[in-house]
Amino acid sequence: MKIALDAMGGDFSPQNPVAGAVQALRDFPDIELILVGDEEKIRAELCKHNTAGIESRLSFHHASQVVDMTDNGLDSVRRKKDSSISRAVDLVKDGQAAAVVSAGHTGALVAAATIKLRTLPGIDRAGLGVLIPAEGGVFLLIDGGANIDPSPKHIVGFAVMGSVYYQAVVGGNRARVGLLNIGTEPGKGTEFCLQCHELLQSAPIAFAGNVEGHGIFKKPVEVVVCDGFTGNIFLKTIEGLAKSMVGWIKDELKKSPIRMAGALLSKGAFDAVKARTSTDEYGGTPLLGVNGICIKAHGNSSVPALRNAIRAARTAIEQNINTRIVEAMQPLHEKVPARHPAEA
Amino acid sequence: MKIALDAMGGDFSPQNPVAGAVQALRDFPDIELILVGDEEKIRAELCKHNTAGIESRLSFHHASQVVDMTDNGLDSVRRKKDSSISRAVDLVKDGQAAAVVSAGHTGALVAAATIKLRTLPGIDRAGLGVLIPAEGGVFLLIDGGANIDPSPKHIVGFAVMGSVYYQAVVGGNRARVGLLNIGTEPGKGTEFCLQCHELLQSAPIAFAGNVEGHGIFKKPVEVVVCDGFTGNIFLKTIEGLAKSMVGWIKDELKKSPIRMAGALLSKGAFDAVKARTSTDEYGGTPLLGVNGICIKAHGNSSVPALRNAIRAARTAIEQNINTRIVEAMQPLHEKVPARHPAEA
């Protein structure tokens, strides 16, 4: 299977994407990678690695432009036609790659994928599905920010896509779905929440009702749905708080030699929690609903995070995610009253 | 100054409210407390404490009902007219108390205070202002959930009220205000965010633009404004994550004797972080904008948290918060084109 990697995307490019690519090619012998971006720079970076034995599964696709963080996502698709993001998506559109992976500008990737690949049959809006560590496993939050103003019907689509992805990638036969809200009772929340709650109850998913932020990390459900504005606030907030808490603990530990000695002895515990809350392990966020596999890696992705984002693309291809999503959406369309047999 | 305390509100009532009241009366000789609720139960609880020297500043106001967590906030005001929350608010309305403090049902307190006390002149909606620990101090988030569907104009009111409260209670001459959003650029967010951003720019506050969840704990601003839905999701999420992270660290520390020894040595550091992130210290959330001082304590408030909620009421009275809010709102009303002098 061929995967297009945006080698110029992310805070540490082309270093980390190139190193992640080398790692992924070693670990997954069934993949081929197309490195998209400034070919000269990518080749120069690649020289730092030993590529013996993997060279044959590595190719290049030149792109002269890079989407900057100051660019507007939607505009970039029109104005920077030769960006590494756009070109990588083009490879999927043209059937030269089965998936695209990028650590670049989220808005640009979402816009390029939505415009060029379009959405799957039966899906109106794509959503970012983010795996988040919790007690006893992970849960998937969708939408992490692709659509800040969806309709309740789009939320139902997110619920179906999230369930399919969770079961295919994380496992289990049944993914419970919760609606992120400000109370667990069905009558809670905005008018939008009430409408979502009603539609989700009759959707072909295992709907478990509303979930709240203070219970969510105990993993009462496998999939959490919400609009992209709320989802994005949620993601950035937990990222900010987790980092600050770790920073506060470190500051306090430095305040006395005894505390520092204690910290040294208990280091293993902190490393374990750090690994558990690290986004590296789940270093790939699928844009679910577009007609092609599209994986977003975090802008500050480490080498292992990029390797794992490529792994996420590989799994999604292997698991036929998009076919399964289209099938899972089927019951929703069948609900539309069929025409009278005589009319057919 | 007289403060009405809902002695039946919260998860541990009447124990914690009564113990918090005794503590507050000892610590603040200038306050008088009216304990509102089932008088027999409150008196029985009070017997467990030494009230010598504070008895004269303690009185009772019987209320036969209690708002349960299963009650609807708004309904409770109509159906449970003799609830401890409603009766405590009545005391403020009737001028028998200068402030009300309750650890009970948030929705019931917001509804009772808004209906019975009404809003301040120039204020259309009240908002919950929650102090949140961050690097180098605290910031105030408003609205924490009083209004899930406010207009951009209400957000401006939250910004003004939050600034006044922050300066009066936490200190400083200038409270910078940030709009909680999904990007720092002015063009980011929903249509609602764009409208808020525009209005905030010309409001009589120190507007610092948009703030994001992952930067917020570094305290780029003193006041963060948002709608009550987003604010409530934010608050519950940080509460849930902080608890889970502490739990994960504890679990990992228990996994080996060496780690446990290390944990013992570095315990001071964790206690310090725990104290820093504890809501006890800021155990009182003002409902800003109602015509009377109204302080909500967390449902699971400890005794010190309740004592501090009473302290928050005392400070708000002392600082003439409401007069200052009305004054601070003045420039906004003056902006409305005045009638021609000849018409006056």
Q: What is the pLDDT of residues A216-255, one digit of tens each?
A: 999 899 999 999 999 999 999 998 998 888 888 888 888 8
pLDDT digits (tens, 9 = 90+) for A173-203: 899 999 999 998 888 899 999 999 999 999 9
Distance from CA of B305 to the nearest CA of A (A): 19
Whole-number pLDDT of residue A344: 38
Distance from CA of B249 to the nearest CA of A (A): 6
In three-state secondary structure terms, A8 is coil
DSSP state of B172: -
Whole-number pLDDT of residue A164: 97
Render A127-179 in DSSP notation, one character per residue: EEEEEEEETTEEEEEE-SSS-SS--HHHHHHHHHHHHHHHHHHT--S--EEEE
Whole-number pLDDT of residue B338: 47
CA distance A200 to B209: 36
To the nearest 10°, report the CA torsion of A170, A172, A174, A180.
-30
Span of A25-34, A333-342, B62-71 with lowest mean pLDDT: A333-342
Q: Pick from A150, A131, A111: which is nearest to A290 by CA?
A: A111
> How many percent of chain B have pLDDT more than 90?
74
pLDDT surpassing 60 at residue B336: no
- Which of the residues A188, A264, A267, A273 would you substitute to probe the B interface, choosing the one with the greatest number of B C-beta atoms within 10 Å? A273
Whole-number pLDDT of residue B344: 38
CA distance B176 to B60: 42
- Which of the residues A265, A274, A277 would you substitute to probe the B interface, choosing the one with the greatest number of B C-beta atoms within 10 Å? A265
- Chain B hits for A193, CB-CB cut-off 8 Å, are 229
- Chain B hits for A215, CB-CB cut-off 8 Å, are 240
Q: Is B95 exposed, middle or buried (0-12, 13-18, 19+ CB in 10 A)?
A: exposed
Name which CATH class applies to A1-123+289-320.
alpha beta
Tell me if A277 and B239 make a contact (CB, 8 A cut-off): no
Whole-number pLDDT of residue B256: 86
Please work out, in degrees rounded to the nearest 5, the angle formed at the alpha carbon of residue A50 by the alpha carbons of A46 and A51.
Answer: 75
pLDDT digits (tens, 9 = 90+) for B11-64: 999 999 999 999 999 999 999 999 999 999 999 999 999 999 999 999 999 999
Q: Pick from A256, A307, A188, A81: which is nearest to B236 by CA?
A: A188
Q: Across the beta sheet with A58-62, what order do the strands follow?
A: A58-62, A32-37, A2-6, A99-102, A293-296, A285-288, A127-134, A137-142, A223-225, A176-180, A206-211
pLDDT digits (tens, 9 = 90+) for B214-252: 899 998 999 999 999 999 999 999 989 988 888 888 888
The mean per-residue pLDDT over the stretch B292-315 comes to 94
Q: How confident is the model at residue A256 (pLDDT cuts 50, 70, 90)?
A: confident
pTM listed for this prediction: 0.92
Q: How confident is the model at residue B69 (pLDDT cuts 50, 70, 90)?
A: confident
Whole-number pLDDT of residue A269: 82
pLDDT surpassing 80 at residue B277: no
Render B209-251 in DSSP notation, one character per residue: EEE-TTTGGG-S-SEEE--HHHHHHHHHHHHHHHHHHHHHHHH
> How many percent of chain B have pLDDT more than 70?
95
pLDDT surpassing 90 at residue A281: no
pLDDT digits (tens, 9 = 90+) for A125-166: 999 999 999 988 899 999 999 999 999 999 999 999 999 999
R_g of chain A computed on alpha carbons: 21
Tell me if A273 and B249 make a contact (CB, 8 A cut-off): yes
Render A11-29 in DSSP notation, one character per residue: TTTTHHHHHHHHHHHHH-T
Name the residue with tokens 């409603």: B86
Choose the closest CB to B266 out of A145, A244, A266. A266
Residue A313: what residue type?
A
pLDDT surpassing 70 at residue A279: no
Six token digits for residue A58: 């590595």
The question of ipTM being above 0.95 is answered as no
- Which of the residues A266, A273, A279, A300 would you substitute to probe the B interface, choosing the one with the greatest number of B C-beta atoms within 10 Å? A266
Q: How confident is the model at residue A73 (pLDDT cuts 50, 70, 90)?
A: confident
Six token digits for residue A7: 């080698």
Q: Where do the domains of chain A lie?
A: 1-123+289-320, 128-279
CA distance B93 to B90: 5
Distance from CA of A54 to the nearest CA of B (A): 38
pLDDT digits (tens, 9 = 90+) for A298-335: 988 999 999 999 999 999 999 999 999 999 999 888 76
- Chain B hits for A236, CB-CB cut-off 8 Å, are 182, 212-214
Q: How confident is the model at residue A72 (pLDDT cuts 50, 70, 90)?
A: confident
Within chain B, where are the H helices?
15-27, 39-46, 73-79, 84-93, 106-117, 152-169, 191-201, 228-253, 257-265, 267-277, 303-318, 321-334
Containing A101, the helix (H) or strand (E) segment is strand A99-102
To the nearest 10°, report the CA torsion of B334, B340, B343, B344.
40
- Chain B hits for A237, CB-CB cut-off 8 Å, are 213-214, 216, 234, 237-238
Six token digits for residue B93: 């309305």
Span of A48-57, A243-252, A334-343, B282-291 with lowest mean pLDDT: A334-343
Buried residues in A17-44 as b, exposed as e (16+ CB within 10 A): bbbbbbbbbeebeebbbbbbbbeeebee
Mean confidence (pLDDT) of chain A: 92
Count of Cβ atoms closer than 10 Å to residue B120 Cβ: 21
Sign of CA dihedral B208, B138, B8, B4: negative
Tell me if A189 and B148 make a contact (CB, 8 A cut-off): yes
pLDDT digits (tens, 9 = 90+) for B119-144: 999 999 999 999 999 988 899 999 99
Cα–Cα distances in angstroms (integers) from residue B303 to residues B20, B36, B60, in the given order = 5, 17, 19
Six token digits for residue A295: 């994986």
Query: Which CATH number applies to B127-279: 2.60.40.10, 3.30.70.260, 3.40.718.10, 1.10.1660.10?
Result: 3.40.718.10
Six token digits for residue A130: 């983010």
Q: Pick from B1, B5, B72, B2: which is nearest to B309 by CA?
A: B5
Tell me the CATH architecture of domain A128-279.
Answer: 3-Layer(aba) Sandwich (3.40)
- Chain A hits for B235, CB-CB cut-off 8 Å, are 213
pLDDT surpassing 50 at residue A343: no
- Chain A hits for B189, CB-CB cut-off 8 Å, are 148, 229
- Which of the residues A110, A188, A237 would you substitute to probe the B interface, choosing the one with the greatest number of B C-beta atoms within 10 Å? A237
Tell me if B190 and A244 make a contact (CB, 8 A cut-off): no
- Chain A hits for B277, CB-CB cut-off 8 Å, are 245, 248
Neighbouring residues of B151: CB distance < 8 A, sequence distance ≥ 6: none
Q: Pick from A145, A223, A298, A309: which is nearest to B212 by CA?
A: A145
